[in-house]
């Protein structure tokens, strides 16, 4: 059985849509990036901490994950604090390409497998009016980079290179392959 160590409804939806059985058992983990941490190291560290913090029986595999957006200027964008912060993030993304990184950790007992999925996303230019409107919708309030590619923000996406599911919050094909490598029967 797979244990999802996350409260993210998007991650749960993605696993369910892929037909992967799981239970949700999140554990609180402080999400704070150290000034020395590269974005890739940060998302893997958080994923590992989440996977280690969640309870699992000996035969269960725990999945921890964390997603950030890395803007063109290398700024790491996590979840916005409020509408003003969301608008600031959208200004940084508008008219540019950025990377979405999701770190994951699959843990069974002492065995751990980690990885990072990277997807390049190209945003269209946005007017101040569009930025204010989208930030006010609140759709991106609980999402890295302050937007939801699968929702209203889809109108601003010009293209992606890489895994779409990663941008939503979980690189499902990569997770599936790693589970199979661990000998898990995925149903």
Q: Are 68 and 10 in contact (CB under 8 A)?
A: no
Alpha helical stretches, state H, 54-163: 83-93, 128-137
Q: How far is CA 86 from CA 3, 28, 75, 81, in A?
A: 31, 24, 14, 7
Mapping DSSP to helix (H, G, I), strand (E, B) and coil, where does residue 128 land? helix
> How many whole angstroms separate alpha carbon 44 and alpha carbon 180?
20
**Beta bridge partners of residue 107, listed in sequence order:** 62, 112
CB count, 10 Å around CB of 136? 11
Q: Which residue among 13, 66, 73, 85 is the active-site one?
A: 66
Give the chain's length. 187
Q: Say which residue the tokens 């000996």 belong to.
A: 58
- 66 as an active site residue: the answer is yes
Residues belonging to the active site: 66
């Amino acid at each position: 059985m797979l244990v999802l160590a996350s409260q993210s409804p998007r991650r749960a939806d993605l696993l369910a849509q892929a037909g992967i059985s799981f239970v949700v058992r999140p554990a609180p983990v402080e999400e704070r990036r150290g000034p020395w941490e590269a974005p890739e190291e940060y998302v893997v560290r958080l994923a590992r901490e989440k996977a280690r913090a969640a309870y699992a029986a000996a035969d269960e595999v725990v999945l921890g994950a964390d997603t950030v957006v890395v803007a063109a200027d290398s700024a790491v964008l996590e979840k916005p604090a409020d509408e003003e912060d969301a608008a600031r993030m959208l200004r940084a993304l508008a008219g540019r390409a950025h990377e979405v990184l999701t770190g994951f950790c699959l843990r069974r007992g002492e065995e751990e497998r980690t990885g990072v999925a990277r997807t390049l996303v190209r945003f269209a230019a946005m007017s101040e009016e569009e930025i204010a409107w989208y930030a006010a919708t609140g759709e991106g309030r609980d999402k890295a980079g302050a937007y939801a590619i699968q929702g209203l923000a889809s109108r601003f996406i010009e293209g992606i290179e890489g895994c779409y599911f990663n941008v939503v919050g979980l690189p499902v094909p990569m997770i599936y392959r790693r589970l199979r490598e661990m000998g898990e029967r995925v149903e």
